[in-house]
Amino acid sequence: MSRPTWEVADVIRDHGEAFLNKYGSTLTSTQRRALCDLAECRTAALGGHVERCLDCGHERIAYNSCRNRHCPKCQAATRARWFEQESAYLLPVAYHHVVFTLPATIAALALTNPGPLYNLLFEAAAATVRAVAADPRYLGALPGMLAVLHTWGQNLHHHPHLHCVVTGGGLSCNRRGEVDATPRWRSCRPNFFLPVRVLSRVYRDKFLTGLRRLAAAGKLRLPAALAEPDAFARWVQAHGDQDWVVYAKPPFAGAEQVLKYLARYTHRVAISNHRIQSIAAGQVSFTWKDYAHGGVERTLTLSAEEFLRRFVQHVLPRGFVKVRHYGLLANRRRGAKLAVARRLLFVAAVATSLMPALPVCPTCAACGSQRVSRLKLPEVGVALHDACVDSS
């Protein structure tokens, strides 16, 4: 893929100070740090090195990456290393794609309570899959699940939802999800995972129960309209009377499809640089897919300040884990559970030849030689740095 003409970093460098003057008081230190990192990424501000070919003398300057997980340019190496680990967990079964979404009004509450509510989203979705799958009427087994949090829609509005990749079957278990002493492998029906309406109701009830628990423990920052317990209780009850969106897509066709999906979703950021069409006269234009009208590609133009306001909404709290494993893939005793599953499925392991390659040694762009030396360059500060420094 060719290098994009425009980048999120260009918007920050050109309009970051104006944005901070307007919205700086509302930003967290993590959001400020992200803006600073993206602005400095692969510039002299972070230093770098000169690569010199020892055969032909060709030189190339390469600046260091910021490695911020919200940077559109810094995910490839992290993604490749993560795939190397993740490929070892794949099973030769169908995998299903399930999406859990928050209603818009609760999503708005997550803007001021991102840590507690995003954690609750993970917990409610995982508990839902575990509970429904453990029911012998539907599966009677413990499946494996990988969940990835996305907080954005195509137009950069706040739209938190969880993408889940779930094995199409699992180890037989009781109703509490405890694996049998001598388990069997139970597969889902062909092209069917679990009933979506049941998932939706269970997910809604588990999330609202958790929401009440957080409020009772004083762990939520509530707006004035919901500050009184009775008002909050009525607000929660109103959401209990609504249908919540849980979407199950057709199953993946094997390990290759699962890895392609993971490549697209696990380390994605709110917007890729390739979607930005222009930055001019204080405005940013970018493409987006209008899924409400069949996925038609459209162009949206925003002021640079509004673009950055939407972008920083998707900077996750410091240390927040956005990719998590559950069930057969949960960290606790994962190796033992997968070994039992593979034995029951009569396989030793899934081939990892589809794993993306890790970065290789640099080669000379002029002659192709791998005899390349490196000379470190010093770091040079930029003007935006002082306003973006992490104050924590």
Angstrom distance (rounded) from CA 89 to CA 104: 34
- More reliable by pLDDT, 379 or 349: 379
| pLDDT(84) > 60 | yes
Question: In terms of Cα–Cα distance, which of 61, 69, 244 is closest to 149?
Answer: 69
Domain definitions of the chain by residue range: 91-270+318-344
Single-letter amino acid, residue 390: D
**pTM value?**
0.88
Q: What is the chain's mean pLDDT, rounded?
A: 89
Question: In terms of Cα–Cα distance, which of 264, 266, 286, 309 is closest to 7?
Answer: 286
Angstrom distance (rounded) from CA 191 to CA 197: 16
Q: Is the dihedral of CA 53, 54, 55, 58 positive or negative?
A: positive
| pLDDT(352) > 80 | no
Angstrom distance (rounded) from CA 166 to CA 172: 15
Q: With bands split at pLDDT 50, 70 and 90, how would you rate the model's confidence at 382?
A: low
| pLDDT(92) > 90 | no
For 170-222, write each residue's pLDDT tens digit. Answer: 999 999 999 999 999 999 988 889 999 999 999 999 999 999 999 999 999 99
DSSP at 266: T
How many CA atoms are closer than 13 Å to the CA of 1, on its beta-carbon side?
A: 7
Q: With bands split at pLDDT 50, 70 and 90, how would you rate the model's confidence at 27?
A: very high
Tokens coding 270: 């709110």
- More reliable by pLDDT, 335 or 2: 335
For 277-309, write each residue's pLDDT tens digit. Answer: 999 999 999 999 998 888 899 999 999 999 999
DSSP at 343: H
By DSSP bridging, strand 95-101 and strand 158-167 are antiparallel
Beta strands of the chain (E only): which ranges?
Answer: 48-53, 59-63, 95-101, 141-142, 144-152, 158-167, 169-172, 185-187, 246-252, 276-280, 283-290, 296-303, 323-327, 372-377
